[in-house]
């Protein structure tokens, strides 16, 4: 049996009772922390809390050659730990499908996810979110700095449909994109597209969801790069037109500019 166990948002205490029991009952416990990380806990701290040795897997062991460790689940109880909710990442869905093709039974132990937590923290209605996307760091190719344009395209498409956009921010080894950096890159994409729709859009940054010092900040997108939300992990939201209750929530909970109340929908 291969159990995908979500660990929640921030630290070792976010795991569900069912998830903790699954980990404690497992013969082998593996984890990956490159798609998401618990910033309030180290792997060592998790191991002490769960009372189990945790074997960290590399990206290659998860995405390229998972057969060796997954194969153990044919005869033993294997728990695979991930931050947030297990099936938010397509990487984990791919693993589950591989396991099924190998004849391995699977189960999912769900947990809290930034996908639902972010909308709740800032007061936006979750059914009004469109397609989400990720903002990667720019890279250099052929001596040129390359900025992916697809995140901006997703935001513009959602705005045209009057839907909010949740933007995941790049995570690299010892490097975590901030909401301000994500906002700046979106505006760079907008300029490259020869448009200015996003220059008058609102941006909402969320930092350290699930922690005692979680922060939410709402401001006009061009001003968001100047706002310091502190430590990672962070996420960015670009809202569409606001219902009056959403506007009130953003002003009260995230310090949004009060003028958004004047154009909110009844």
pLDDT at position 266, please?
A: 83
Q: Measured between alpha carbons, how far is 48 from 29 in angstroms, rounded to an integer?
A: 13
For residue 13, count other CB atoms closer than 10 A to its CB. Answer: 13
pLDDT given for residue 141 in this prediction: 86
pLDDT tens, position by position, 75-103:
999 999 999 999 988 899 999 999 999 99
pLDDT-above-70 percentage for the chain: 100
Residue 241 pLDDT more than 90?
yes
Would you place residue 259 in the very low, low, confident or very high pLDDT band (cuts 50, 70, 90)? very high
Radius of gyration from C-alpha coordinates of the chain:
20
Q: What is the pLDDT of residues 140-185, one digit of tens each?
A: 888 889 999 999 999 999 999 999 999 999 998 889 999 999 999 9
Domains of the chain, each with CATH number or no CATH:
2-112 (3.40.1010.10), 115-263 (3.30.950.10)
Q: Is the pLDDT of residue 120 over 90?
A: yes
Output the CA–CA distances (angstroms, integers) from residue 97 to 28, 51, 101, 102, in the order listed. Answer: 20, 29, 6, 9
Question: Could you give the CA distance from residue 221 to residue 193 in angstroms, rounded to a whole number?
Answer: 17
The pLDDT score that the predictor gives to residue 142 is 85
Q: Quick one: pLDDT at residue 89?
A: 85
Confidence of residue 210 (pLDDT cuts 50, 70, 90): very high
Residue 35: pLDDT over 90: no
pLDDT of residue 53 exceeding 90: yes
**208: CB partners within 8 A, 6+ apart:** 10, 39, 214, 215, 230, 231, 232, 233, 234
Distances (CA, A) of 99 to 23, 35, 63, 70, 73: 19, 19, 12, 7, 9
Residues 242-253, mean pLDDT to the nearest whole number:
97
Query: pLDDT tens-digit profile of 66-77?
Result: 999 999 999 999
């Amino acid at each position: 049996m291969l159990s995908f166990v979500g660990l929640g948002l921030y630290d070792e205490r976010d795991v569900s009772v069912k998830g903790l029991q699954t980990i404690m009952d497992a013969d082998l416990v593996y984890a990956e922390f490159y798609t998401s990380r618990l910033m309030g806990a180290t792997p060592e701290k998790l191991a002490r809390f769960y009372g189990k040795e945790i074997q960290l897997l590399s990206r290659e062991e998860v995405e390229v050659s998972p057969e060796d460790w997954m194969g153990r689940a044919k005869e033993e109880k294997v728990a695979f730990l991930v931050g947030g909710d297990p099936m938010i990442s397509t990487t984990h869905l791919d693993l589950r499908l591989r396991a099924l093709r190998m004849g391995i039974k699977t189960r999912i132990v769900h947990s809290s996810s930034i996908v639902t937590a972010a909308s709740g923290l800032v007061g936006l209605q979750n059914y009004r979110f469109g397609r989400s996307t990720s903002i990667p760091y720019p890279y250099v190719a052929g001596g040129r700095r390359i900025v992916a344009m697809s995140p901006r395209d997703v935001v513009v498409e959602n705005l045209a449909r009057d839907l909010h956009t949740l933007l995941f921010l790049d995570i690299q080894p010892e490097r975590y994109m901030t909401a301000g950096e994500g906002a700046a890159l979106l505006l760079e994409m907008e300029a490259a597209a020869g448009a200015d729709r996003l220059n008058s859009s609102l941006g909402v940054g969320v930092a350290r969801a699930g922690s005692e010092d979680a922060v939410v900040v709402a401001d006009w997108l061009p001003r968001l790069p100047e706002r310091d939300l502190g430590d990672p992990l962070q996420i960015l939201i670009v809202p569409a037109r606001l219902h009056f209750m959403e506007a009130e929530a953003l002003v009260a909970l995230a310090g949004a500019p009060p003028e958004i109340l004047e154009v909110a929908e009844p």
